[in-house]
């Protein structure tokens, strides 16, 4: 995941044409710090939410998306897109949420191919119970560590990258 390994015998300055654009020492440092910090933060939030509530963050995200919709329901595909999830993954996940009684599938009137994922009252209650845990984690491990300027920089970075990685958003 780290990025090093300029092939042995090669320094920082590379084949002027066609060669790999290796990272210099500063870029290495920035990349590793970013990589490790995001990974540690996600691991931490995942673990804390899981321990406290038994809900993985991937499921939490599904519940959140459904809860933010006026009727607490959404087409499977749109839900997948919003959760940055593949159709298949979402389908599996919704099946498991259905087993917990937190979501149910409902046929879609306008489109015979489609299904709606509907958040149940039990699902909403589970979300309400989990939200404080998750938010407190984000607060403690992220915002409490940063100055307002750093928060601003984080937003700017995230939005810049989003424009490249997912222009539709």
Site for its own copies in 47-66 (CB under 8 A): 57-58, 60-61, 64-65
What are the phi and psi torsion angles at 79 (to 5°)? -60, -45
Q: At what angle do helices 25-53 and 121-141 cross, to 10 degrees?
A: 140
Q: Cβ contacts of residue 98 below 8 Å, gap of 6+?
A: 104, 105
Q: Which lies closer to its own copies via its Cβ, residue 95 or residue 145?
A: 145
Burial pattern 78-95, b for ≥16 Cβ within 10 A else e, equals ebbbbbebeeeebeebbe
Indicate which single residue of 9, 70, 112, 167 sits in contact with DNA (rule: CB under 7 A).
112
Which partner in its own copies, DNA, none is near 87 (CB below 5 to 8 A by kind)? DNA
Residue 112 touches which member of DNA, its own copies, none, C-beta under 5-8 Å by kind: DNA
Binding piece for its own copies, criterion CB under 8 A, among 69-77, 94-102, 113-121, 161-169? 161-169
44 binds its own copies (CB under 8 A): yes
Angle between helices 57-67 and 25-53 (to 10 degrees): 80
32 binds, among DNA, its own copies, none (CB under 5 to 8 A by kind): its own copies
The two three-digit tokens of residue 157, written as one number = 């970075």
Stretch that binds DNA, among 26-34, 91-99, 136-144, 155-163 (CB under 7 A): 91-99
Pick what 40 binds: its own copies, DNA, none; C-beta below 5 to 8 Å, kind-dependent: its own copies
Site for its own copies in 61-90 (CB under 8 A): 61, 64-65, 67-68, 83-84
Element (H, E) at 117: strand 115-119
Residue 95 interacting with its own copies (CB under 8 A): no
Identify any residues that bridge with 105 across adjacent strands, giving them in sequence order: 117
């Amino acid at each position: 995941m780290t990025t090093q390994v300029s092939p042995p015998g090669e320094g920082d300055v590379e084949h002027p044409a066609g060669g790999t654009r290796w990272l210099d020492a500063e870029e290495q440092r920035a990349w590793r710090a970013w990589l490790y910090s995001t990974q540690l933060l996600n691991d931490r939030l995942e673990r804390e939410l899981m321990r406290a509530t038994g809900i993985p963050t991937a499921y939490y995200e599904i519940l959140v998306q459904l809860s933010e919709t006026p009727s607490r329901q959404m087409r499977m595909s749109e839900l997948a897109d919003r959760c940055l999830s593949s159709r298949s993954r979402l389908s599996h996940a919704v099946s498991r949420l259905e087993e917990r009684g937190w979501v149910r599938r409902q046929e879609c009137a306008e489109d015979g191919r489609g299904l709606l994922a509907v958040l149940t009252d039990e699902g909403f209650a589970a979300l309400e119970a989990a939200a404080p845990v998750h938010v407190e984690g984000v607060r403690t491990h992220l915002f409490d560590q940063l100055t307002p300027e750093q928060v601003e920089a984080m937003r700017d970075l995230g939005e810049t990258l989003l424009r490249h990685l997912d222009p539709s958003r």
